[in-house]
Structure 1
Amino acid sequence: MFTLFSGCIEHLCRKDQFHLLILGVDKSGKTNVLEKLKQLLTDLPGMDPSQIMPTVGLNVGKMEAFNSQLVFWDLGGQPGLRSIWDKYYAETHGLVFVVDATDPERFDEAKVALDKALGARELVGAPLLLIANKQDAEGAVDMQEVSEAFGLGKMDSIPCIVQPASAYTGQGLVDGIKWLVEAVKRSPRRYHVTARRR
């Protein structure tokens, strides 16, 4: 009887676990975003930005926030590494796509990468948080320009927003991730991904 009771309590108190995939072209600040989130959402110090090297492969960050267990997968954005992105799509609940808002010349390249990811069957229905990073830097374009450049106004098949943010100061990151977690909780994809993992 005790085992049944404790199992029920454990089930009721268990937090949902969501996998959030962080993508973007190289030098957009993906790993900086992950490290700043560690500082903002946990007691972990996060890595100093000057110590962060380009990601070759995968960085993983696990933290509890918004009554959920979040597992972040930060993948390298160099052209040669983008071919591994699709290996993570089937297990992804929500997508974080990071854009360097100070480098609009690379928006076309980033849009092609994002469109390819969103066109993958394994990622259908995943909510999208597009982080317009480096808002603290001179020359950063605003979220309206980023939204237009990436055609987000035309996207009606998935929940998506542009979040102006700075991985250096932390501005906008918590608000963006909070939105994404809430969107994932409302998404039918939440149940499909969880069922596949069992």
Structure 2
Amino acid sequence: MYTLLSGLYKYVFQKDEYCILILGLDNAGKTTFLEQSKTRFNRNYKGMNLSKITTTVGLNIGTVDVGKARLMFWDLGGQEELQSLWDKYYAECHGVIYVIDSTDEERLSESKQAFEKVVSSESLDGVPVLVLANKQDVEQRST
């Protein structure tokens, strides 16, 4: 009887889970994007102080419930030595958000190369990719 009730409960209340990778070079704003998303979509989440966000070593995981879906965001570190690990997560993901620091013109070509490596992976065939040009609200510094 317990198995029947447990199965019924899971069928009625369990959410579909989707894993979304957040990729991009270091300092592009991936973790800030994740924290802002968690704050916006989770009522009881207060969020962390954005000035306390440091470089991600490894990954950060965040969960957001939207309707009957649960989105699990995997924010992977963007340092060059960590980029070689990104492809280990491709098989499990349902979508990719690639974040670009739109104010860092010196690294745009580096970001383009990393992005091309991501989208050329056969493991991501058919997986939706969103390119997010971050920091567009930051005033450009004139020299």
**Fold conserved between structures, TM > 0.5:** yes
User: What is the 5 A alignment of 1:1-198?
Assistant: 4=4, 7-8=7-8, 10-42=10-42, 43-139=44-140
Stretches (4+) displaced over 6 A: none
- Deviation per CA, 1:14-72: give whole Å up to 9, x if none: 21100000000111000111111111111212221210110111111122123211111
- Counterpart of 1:113, as a letter, is A
Please give the alpha-carbon distance, in whole angstroms, between the structure 2 residues aligned to 1:66 and 1:111: 34
- Deviation per CA, 1:67-114: give whole Å up to 9, x if none: 211111001111111011111110000001111111233221111111
Please give the alpha-carbon distance, in whole angstroms, between the structure 2 residues aligned to 1:9 and 1:119: 41
C-alpha displacement of 1:121: 1.7
- TM-score of the two chains, using structure 2 as the length reference: 0.88
Provide the alpha-carbon RMSD of the alignment: 1.9
Structure 1 stretches of 5 or more lacking a match? 141-198
Aligned-pair identity in percent equals 48
Please give the alpha-carbon distance, in whole angstroms, between the structure 2 residues aligned to 1:3 and 1:75: 38
More RCO (CA 8 Å, sep 6+): 2
Pairs aligned (count): 140
Higher helix share: 1
Structure 2 stretches of 5 or more lacking a match? none
Higher strand share: 2
